[in-house]
């Protein structure tokens, strides 16, 4: 039972079982059970539930970071989420993404690198940038928005990172997976679109062959999601499909 | 040189709407189908479940108390273990997995009584897991009972249960084995543990994107890796079954082993367009290809060559082979400027007038694309079926001459299809992708026999043996 169904959006007044029944309103062939039992026993908390970034992230430091052992880029400048009204991820078509990323943008200059801690305006929302290293191969935006106590569903999140390549690398591909949709730009050029209702799957979509220039390369990303756990992962693959790890990653 | 364009897989010659099961098979998140005292049972989200006398026609009537979501069920010894998840509501991810036993799944039985459910796993609403969507596996290699559970919210977790009590093994700690999926279940086969899980979204009718993927591991605790080396913790997974025709969004895989070489999967489709877009139960063959499970096909009606896997010869009517017009040409390299004209196929009317009118034997011979070698297979006008399919009528194409089992365990053709049970045929796709063909009954016998090749050229009935190509058939369309 996938909780990406609309009924799981925050603010939904119905209880879960009501939601389940709504989800399965067609089960008329099933008959009532013998009895209903209390749905849940007392369940103690298993860990820290405070809104803190340190559970899943560490503040990016001045020390340059390299991709992880599989080439995933874990350091990102992350903007607080732009709230979006998205009932179902199936609306995240290519044209929807282009339109939304154009209108709900902090800057049309796709090579700009925001400063950690600075605020920008998107529409009428004042949003803050965070420079963070994810503790996992992916960057879980649900964890990020929970940590900063912002909306977790129905969000658009802008991302920037700077990778330093020791040499020019031709015929490489940017590779990404995200929940649910997103777009990626390299040095101001759009290179990757992930439209539709997607799961965060490593190497779900790769770019066409591109060139990483020697020195700094600026990656801009945007991930958008309705119901479900907003999430993404990005890495570069060489022309043989092998993850590229000889990069350094900064945020300025 | 013979040049025959062969399509090795099925192709439909008769337009047919593919549906899930028949009756009232409406369910969401079905548990693995379990047989109990000759009937089949599956339970769904909410409460209750479906029952079938034969595995093809399904109706409500199953009883599973506790409500909650997405149960699973399994027979262990002489009892049935049912597991389900309950959630806390309000959109939180707080949940618990319960197990309970019953001596029978038949609600009409005096022995029908569920034990008090016990909690075997929980999620507190904040940790990266949803304690719902449980799946059971009794490891045939070790006898240990494993439970996976969870949804897209964080990880799929693995815990161990005691197969005697259904309770969590004392001191057992969960292991995270997959992410970004749900409705997981493990399958053991030939030294590999396979994790089958559902990706995509549900509950949006024909717009639902549910599909089932698989990864595998040599250890039950993982890592579960897909066919291109991706860990299921990174979203990896090789497709097992996706939308097919008007059956949209399959999910909640369950594995059923009927016998060696005959395996099925139970699942639900988010929407069956033929049945008003409702969520319905589905049953498909499991085919193992290069060490990976994939969904086979419910047999599709059509006109086929029925090829014996033994040698590659075809089932045919035991009648004289009528020569076709034309003779040997083109030898010797002499110049030949005659216009090229196609040679017409031999037609049924060209030859059938010379055939006997009564019963005619069946045999297996070199396929020559002749009328006595082409069989039309359609859903029989019979309300019964078997797990995942209806019985079929097999007649010589263009005629009502039907393939039939005889009391002495042989096969013949009778001039007209009457619907007699010995003229009804069960067709199962096997785990290697070939097919088993069985008569519904063998007259005056309670034996379950299958169509087999005796030698290269003699069709007969015998016990099915998956290890022998004599027992296997292919359906080819040319």
User: pLDDT grade, residue B94 (50/70/90)?
Assistant: very high
Tokens encoding B263: 């395996």
Minimum Cα–Cα distance from B86: chain A residue: A39
Minimum Cα–Cα distance from A136: chain B residue: B234
Q: Which residues of B touch A37 (CB under 8 A)?
A: 65-67, 117
d(CA A46, CA A54): 17
d(CA A49, CA A147): 9
Between residues B383 and B288, the one the model is more confident about? B288
- Contact assignment for B48 to A37 by CB distance below 8 Å: no
CA torsion through residues B136, B137, B143, B145, sign: negative
The residues, any chain, with a CB within 8 Å of residue B104's CB and separated by 6 or more, are: B36, B37, B80, B111, B112
What pLDDT, on a 0 to 100 scale, did the predictor assign at position B333? 61
Q: What are phi and psi of B71, to 5 degrees?
A: -75, 170
What pLDDT, on a 0 to 100 scale, did the predictor assign at position B367? 97
User: pLDDT grade, residue A36 (50/70/90)?
Assistant: very low
Query: In chain B, what percentage of residues exceed pLDDT 70?
Result: 93
- Contact assignment for B124 to A44 by CB distance below 8 Å: yes
The alpha carbon of residue B91 is apart from the nearest alpha carbon of chain A, in Å, by: 5
Q: Which residues of A touch B132 (CB under 8 A)?
A: 1
Q: Are the C-beta atoms of B202 and A198 separated by less than 8 Å?
A: no
The alpha carbon of residue A38 is apart from the nearest alpha carbon of chain B, in Å, by: 8
Instruction: Select the residue of A26, A33, A49 nearest B26 (Cβ to Cβ).
Output: A26
Q: Are the C-beta atoms of B6 and B27 separated by less than 8 Å?
A: no
The alpha carbon of residue A222 is apart from the nearest alpha carbon of chain B, in Å, by: 19
User: Which of A17, A27, A200 to mutate against chain B (most B CBs within 10 Å)?
Assistant: A27
User: pLDDT grade, residue A23 (50/70/90)?
Assistant: very low
- Contact assignment for B46 to A24 by CB distance below 8 Å: yes
Using CB atoms within 10 A of its CB, is residue B463 exposed (0-12), middle (13-18) or buried (19+)? Answer: exposed
B window 199-228, beta carbon within 8 A of A: 199-204, 207, 209-210
Whether the per-residue pLDDT at B88 is higher than 90: the answer is no
d(CA B215, CA B227): 7
Whether the per-residue pLDDT at B326 is higher than 90: the answer is no
Minimum Cα–Cα distance from A22: chain B residue: B203
Q: Are the C-beta atoms of B268 and B282 separated by less than 8 Å?
A: yes
The alpha carbon of residue A27 is apart from the nearest alpha carbon of chain B, in Å, by: 5
B24 touches chain A (CB under 8 A): yes
User: pLDDT grade, residue B7 (50/70/90)?
Assistant: very low
Which of B245, B436, B232 shows the shortest CA–CA distance to A202? B232
Helices (H) and strands (E) in chain A, counts: 3, 15
Contact pairs from chain A to chain B, CB under 8 Å: 220
Q: Which residues of B touch A15 (CB under 8 A)?
A: 89-90
What pLDDT, on a 0 to 100 scale, did the predictor assign at position A153? 95
Which of B131, B130, B137, B74 shows the shortest CA–CA distance to B100? B74
B63 touches chain A (CB under 8 A): yes
Between residues A22 and B214, the one the model is more confident about? B214
Q: Which residues of A touch B124 (CB under 8 A)?
A: 43-47, 49
- Contact assignment for A41 to B119 by CB distance below 8 Å: yes
Helices (H), A53-179: 94-103, 141-147
d(CA B285, CA B241): 11
B388 dihedral zone (left: phi>0; alpha: psi -120 to 50; beta):
left
What pLDDT, on a 0 to 100 scale, did the predictor assign at position A64? 84
Q: Which residues of B touch A7 (CB under 8 A)?
A: 203
User: pLDDT grade, residue B327 (50/70/90)?
Assistant: low
Examine residue B424 and say whether the peptide bond preceding it is cis (omega within 30 degrees of 0).
no
Query: In chain A, what percentage of residues exceed pLDDT 90?
Result: 78
The alpha carbon of residue A13 is apart from the nearest alpha carbon of chain B, in Å, by: 7
Which of A221, A231, A250, A192 shows the shortest CA–CA distance to A110? A221
Q: Which residues of B touch A2 (CB under 8 A)?
A: 151-152, 182-183, 198, 200-203, 210, 251
Whether the per-residue pLDDT at A8 is higher than 80: the answer is no
Find where tokens 């003779």 sit. B327
- DSSP-assigned letters across all residues of B96-111: EEEEEEES-S-TTSTT
Helices (H), B244-330: none
**Which pLDDT tens digit goes with each residue over B98-121?**
999 999 999 999 999 999 999 999
CB-facing half-sphere around the CA of B21: CA atoms within 13 A:
36
**Which pLDDT tens digit goes with each residue over B135-172?**
999 999 999 999 999 999 999 999 999 999 999 999 99
B window 284-303, beta carbon within 8 A of A: none
The alpha carbon of residue A154 is apart from the nearest alpha carbon of chain B, in Å, by: 14
- Contact assignment for A49 to B132 by CB distance below 8 Å: no
B47 touches chain A (CB under 8 A): yes
Whether the per-residue pLDDT at B299 is higher than 80: the answer is yes
User: pLDDT grade, residue B430 (50/70/90)?
Assistant: very high
The alpha carbon of residue A243 is apart from the nearest alpha carbon of chain B, in Å, by: 13
What pLDDT, on a 0 to 100 scale, did the predictor assign at position A45? 94
d(CA A187, CA B48): 57
What pLDDT, on a 0 to 100 scale, did the predictor assign at position B335? 62
- Contact assignment for B26 to A28 by CB distance below 8 Å: yes
Between residues B235 and B2, the one the model is more confident about? B235
B275 touches chain A (CB under 8 A): no
The whole-number average pLDDT for the span B384-388 is 95
HEC string of B306-359?
EEECCCCCEEEECCCCCCCCCCCCCHHHCCCCCCCCCCCCCCHHHHHHHCCCCC
Q: Which residues of B touch A39 (CB under 8 A)?
A: 67-68, 86-89, 96
B154 touches chain A (CB under 8 A): yes
Q: Are the C-beta atoms of B21 and B57 separated by less than 8 Å?
A: yes
What pLDDT, on a 0 to 100 scale, did the predictor assign at position B12? 33
User: pLDDT grade, residue A20 (50/70/90)?
Assistant: very low
B109 touches chain A (CB under 8 A): no
What pLDDT, on a 0 to 100 scale, did the predictor assign at position B19? 64
Q: SS3 for B445? A: coil
What pLDDT, on a 0 to 100 scale, did the predictor assign at position A203? 98
What pLDDT, on a 0 to 100 scale, did the predictor assign at position B471? 98
Minimum Cα–Cα distance from B205: chain A residue: A23
**Which pLDDT tens digit goes with each residue over B28-77?**
999 999 999 999 999 999 878 999 999 999 999 999 999 888 999 999 99
The alpha carbon of residue A188 is apart from the nearest alpha carbon of chain B, in Å, by: 28
Whole-prediction pTM value? 0.91
Q: Dmax over Cα atoms in chain B, in whole Å? A: 90
What pLDDT, on a 0 to 100 scale, did the predictor assign at position B413? 98
Minimum Cα–Cα distance from A4: chain B residue: B201
Mean pLDDT of chain A: 87
Mean pLDDT of chain B: 93
The alpha carbon of residue B44 is apart from the nearest alpha carbon of chain A, in Å, by: 8
d(CA B228, CA B238): 8
What pLDDT, on a 0 to 100 scale, did the predictor assign at position B382? 82
């Amino acid at each position: 039972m996938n909780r990406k169904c609309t009924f799981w959006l925050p603010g939904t007044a119905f209880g879960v079982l009501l939601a389940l029944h709504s989800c399965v309103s067609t089960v008329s062939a099933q008959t009532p059970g013998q009895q209903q039992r209390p749905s849940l026993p007392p369940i103690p908390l298993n860990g820290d539930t405070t809104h803190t970034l340190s559970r899943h992230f560490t503040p990016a430091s001045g020390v340059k970071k390299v991709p992880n052992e599989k080439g995933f880029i874990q350091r990102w400048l992350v903007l607080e989420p732009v709230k979006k009204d998205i009932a179902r991820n199936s609306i995240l078509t290519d044209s929807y993404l282009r339109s939304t990323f154009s209108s709900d943008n902090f800057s049309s200059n796709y090579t700009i690198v925001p400063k950690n801690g600075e605020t920008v305006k998107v529409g009428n929302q004042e949003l803050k940038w965070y420079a963070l290293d994810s503790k996992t191969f992916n960057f879980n935006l649900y964890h990020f928005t929970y940590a900063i106590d912002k909306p977790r569903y129905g969000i658009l999140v802008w991302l920037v990172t700077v990778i330093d390549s020791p040499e020019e690398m031709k015929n490489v591909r940017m590779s990404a997976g995200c929940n649910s949709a997103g777009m990626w730009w390299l040095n101001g050029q759009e290179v990757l679109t992930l439209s539709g209702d997607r799961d965060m799957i490593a190497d779900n979509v790769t770019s066409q062959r591109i060139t990483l220039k020697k020195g700094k390369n600026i990656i801009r990303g945007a991930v958008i999601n309705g119901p479900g756990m907003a999430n993404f992962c990005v890495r570069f693959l060489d022309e043989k499909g092998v993850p590229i790890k000889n990069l350094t990653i900064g945020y300025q | 040189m013979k040049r025959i364009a062969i399509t090795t897989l099925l192709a439909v010659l008769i337009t047919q709407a593919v549906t899930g099961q028949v009756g009232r098979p409406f369910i969401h998140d079905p548990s693995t189908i379990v047989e109990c005292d000759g009937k089949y049972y599956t339970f769904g989200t909410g409460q209750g479940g479906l029952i079938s006398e034969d595995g093809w026609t399904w109706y409500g009537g199953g009883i599973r108390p506790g409500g909650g979501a997405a149960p699973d069920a399994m027979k262990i010894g002489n009892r049935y273990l049912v597991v389900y998840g309950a959630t806390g509501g309000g959109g939180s991810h707080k949940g618990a997995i319960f197990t309970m036993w019953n001596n029978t799944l038949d609600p009409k039985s005096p022995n029908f009584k569920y034990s008090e459910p016990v909690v075997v796993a929980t999620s507190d609403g904040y940790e990266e897991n949803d304690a719902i969507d449980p799946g059971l596996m009794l490891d045939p290699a070790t006898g240990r009972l494993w439970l996976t559970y969870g949804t897209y919210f964080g990880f799929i977790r693995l815990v161990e249960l005691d197969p005697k009590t259904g309770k969590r093994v004392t001191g057992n700690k969960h292991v995270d084995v997959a992410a970004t999926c749900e409705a997981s279940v493990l399958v053991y086969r030939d030294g590999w543990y396979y994790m089958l899980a559902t990706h995509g979204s549900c509950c949006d009718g024909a717009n639902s994107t549910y599909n089932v993927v698989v990864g595998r591991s040599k250890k039950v605790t993982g890592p579960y890796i897909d066919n291109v080396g991706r860990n299921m913790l990174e979203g990896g997974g090789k497709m097992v079954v996706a939308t097919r025709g008007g059956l949209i969004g399959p999910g909640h895989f369950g594995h059923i082993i009927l016998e060696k070489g005959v395996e099925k999967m139970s699942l639900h489709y988010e929407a069956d367009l033929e049945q008003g877009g409702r969520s319905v139960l589905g049953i498909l063959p499991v085919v193992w290809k290069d060490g990976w499970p994939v969904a086979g096909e419910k047999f599709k009606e059509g006109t086929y060559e029925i090829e014996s896997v033994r040698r590659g010869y075809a089932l045919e009517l035991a009648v004289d082979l009528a020569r076709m017009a034309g003779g040997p040409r083109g030898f010797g390299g002499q110049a030949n400027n005659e216009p090229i004209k196609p040679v017409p196929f031999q037609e049924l009317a060209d030859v059938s007038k010379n055939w006997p009118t009564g019963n005619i034997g069946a045999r297996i011979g070199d396929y020559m694309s002749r009328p006595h070698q082409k069989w039309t297979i359609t859903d029989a006008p019979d309300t019964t079926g078997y797990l995942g399919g209806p019985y079929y009528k097999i007649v010589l194409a263009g005629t009502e001459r039907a393939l039939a089992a005889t009391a002495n365990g042989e096969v013949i053709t009778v001039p007209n299809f009457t619907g007699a049970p010995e003229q009804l045929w069960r067709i199962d796709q096997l785990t290697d992708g070939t097919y088993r063909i069985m008569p519904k009954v063998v007259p005056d016998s309670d034996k379950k026999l299958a169509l087999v090749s005796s030698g290269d050229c003699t069709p007969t009935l015998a016990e099915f043996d998956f290890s022998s190509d004599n027992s296997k058939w292919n359906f080819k369309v040319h």
